Amino acid sequence: MTDQQTKMKILARQFGELKLKKNMSAFFPDKKNPFMWHISFKGPEDSEFQEGIYHCQMNLASYPDSPPEVMLLNESGAYVVNTNICIVGLTHYHPEGWTPGTSIEAIVTALQMLMQITTDRSGYGVIPTINSSDVKKYSDKSKVFTCKCGADHSKLFQ
Ligand SMILES: [Zn+2]
């Protein structure tokens, strides 16, 4: 088990790294809870999601020893909102496949990748069939999405 002090150091470093990214940024929705994060990320390039900005919540209470709980908070057409998402090896449904030390950035990257995969979309929280008109509609909405955590997509990633 990672001790509390080491855990806080790991999280602080990763939070700082995410803040420097061009396509991801992290926020604290609850200033009293350093283990609950919100992360905005751009849709994957060269995909129908590329204009969108998506907002997820990660519960990192047992990270880095176990994978986080991850859910999307705005609609994308790829994931069910407010529902924990299953990604093999990277979310809490699969503690057995978890590699301690996996970065939060790697988990967000997997979320981006899985958005555009068209086959075997069978996991929890994953919308099985992508509907392109929904994707477009949600992508337009996502650009003006705001959250109580301070995320304002109209100002992010300019
Ligand atoms: Zn938020």
Collapsing DSSP to helix, strand or coil, 36 comes out as strand
150 CA to centre of ligand 1 in angstroms: 6
Homologous superfamily of 4-142: Ubiquitin Conjugating Enzyme (3.10.110.10)
The answer to whether residue 149 is catalytic is no
49-82 pLDDT per residue, tens: 999 999 999 999 999 999 999 999 999 999 999 9
75 CA to centre of ligand 1 in angstroms: 13
pTM for the whole structure: 0.95
40 CA to centre of ligand 1 in angstroms: 8
9-64 pLDDT per residue, tens: 999 999 999 989 999 999 999 999 999 999 999 999 999 999 999 999 999 999 99
- Alpha-carbon torsion (144, 145, 147, 152), positive or negative: negative
> What residues are neighbours of ligand 1 (ion), with CB under 5 Å?
38, 147, 149, 151
